[in-house]
């Protein structure tokens, strides 16, 4: 899953980005509304964390610009403002959730997980595909009750496919949603990661759809 953090406080931006990366997400960052507006319009994000009090372009204007451009990614607003009118302005502009500073990082992570879960149509933080269970809270994967150790990129790939299980996901989409903007992207590496995942999981839940991409689906019962 690929996220964008738009926050002008460099220390807070760094703390949020670090926490998200440690939780298994690919994260891009921006420090003003102008840069954030551009990234949100030109890059495919699964969710955005957006401060309202931004330099150059304020957060509400940024969010309104995204929604006018028909960008539908869920947006979590961050702000030091606690007046009800500011919250209403954020929601009316298209926000999906709201956190008032100061906040606990664990709460922020939980709200991000909830946004991603709802966007993909899942009711709980634990995703299941056949014998594979993925706990988004702990970034943990088990197969038939046995823990499986994955690299960060393998986990991101599996998480994305399981969030969208039952749907064919192209290599291009995977590349766009698994790597941040500074990563040297190469769609050929996806095939390598899929091969590693299949070997580590030991079960066939990732199918190759020739010419189209990959799909996560529970193995057929014999």
CATH label of the domain that carries residue 144: 1.10.10.10
Instruction: Give me the phi and psi of 4, to 5 degrees please.
Output: -125, 130
Helix (H) or strand (E) holding 120: helix 105-120
Statement to judge: residues 80 and 9 lie in one domain: yes
pLDDT at 157: 94
Statement to judge: residues 153 and 43 lie in one domain: no
Over the chain, what is the mean pLDDT?
Answer: 91
Statement to judge: residues 148 and 182 lie in one domain: yes
Domain that holds residue 190: 126-216
- What's the token pair of residue 133? 């269970």
User: Using one digit for the tens of pLDDT, what is the confidence trace for 141-189?
Assistant: 999 989 999 998 899 999 999 999 999 999 999 988 988 876 666 667 8
Is residue 97 in some structural domain?
yes
Statement to judge: residues 77 and 159 lie in one domain: no
Listed residues 100, 120, 140: the one ending a domain: 120
Is residue 144 in some structural domain?
yes
Q: Are 46 and 1 a contacting pair, CB within 8 Å? A: yes
Q: Tell how strand 206-209 and strand 26-30 pair up.
A: unpaired
Q: How many domains does the chain have?
A: 2
DSSP state of 220: P
Is residue 221 in some structural domain?
no
pLDDT at 220: 63
- What's the token pair of residue 93? 């502009």
- Domain of residue 42, CATH code: 3.40.50.2300
Q: Are 96 and 115 a contacting pair, CB within 8 Å? A: yes
Statement to judge: residues 134 and 104 lie in one domain: no
User: Using one digit for the tens of pLDDT, what is the confidence trace for 15-67?
Assistant: 999 999 999 899 999 999 999 999 999 999 999 999 999 999 999 999 999 99
Helix (H) or strand (E) holding 84: helix 84-93
Task: Determine the Cα–Cα distance for residues 217 and 207; give it in Å rounded to an integer.
Answer: 7
Is residue 18 in some structural domain?
yes
Q: Are 157 and 178 a contacting pair, CB within 8 Å? A: yes
pLDDT at 38: 97
């Amino acid at each position: 899953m690929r996220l964008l953090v738009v926050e002008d406080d460099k220390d807070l931006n760094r703390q949020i980005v670090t926490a998200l990366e440690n939780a298994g997400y690919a994260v891009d960052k921006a420090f003003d509304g102008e840069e954030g507006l551009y990234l949100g319009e030109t890059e495919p994000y699964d969710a955005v964390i957006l401060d309202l009090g931004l330099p150059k372009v304020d957060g509400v204007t940024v969010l309104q610009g995204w929604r006018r451009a028909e960008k539908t990614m869920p947006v979590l607003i961050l702000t030091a403002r606690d007046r009800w009118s500011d919250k209403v302005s954020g929601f009316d502009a298209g926000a999906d959730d709201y956190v008032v500073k100061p906040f606990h990082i664990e709460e922020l992570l939980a709200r991000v997980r909830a946004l991603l879960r709802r966007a993909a149509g899942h009711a709980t933080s634990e995703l299941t595909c056949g014998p594979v269970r993925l706990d988004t809270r702990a970034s943990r994967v088990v197969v038939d009750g046995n823990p499986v150790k994955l690299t960060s990129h393998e986990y991101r790939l599996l998480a994305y496919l399981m969030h969208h299980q039952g749907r064919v996901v192209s290599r291009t989409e995977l590349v766009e949603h698994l790597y941040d903007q500074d990563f040297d992207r190469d769609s050929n590496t996806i095939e390598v990661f899929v091969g590693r995942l299949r070997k580590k999981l030991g079960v066939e839940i990732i199918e190759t759809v020739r010419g189209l991409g990959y799909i996560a689906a529970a193995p057929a019962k014999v």
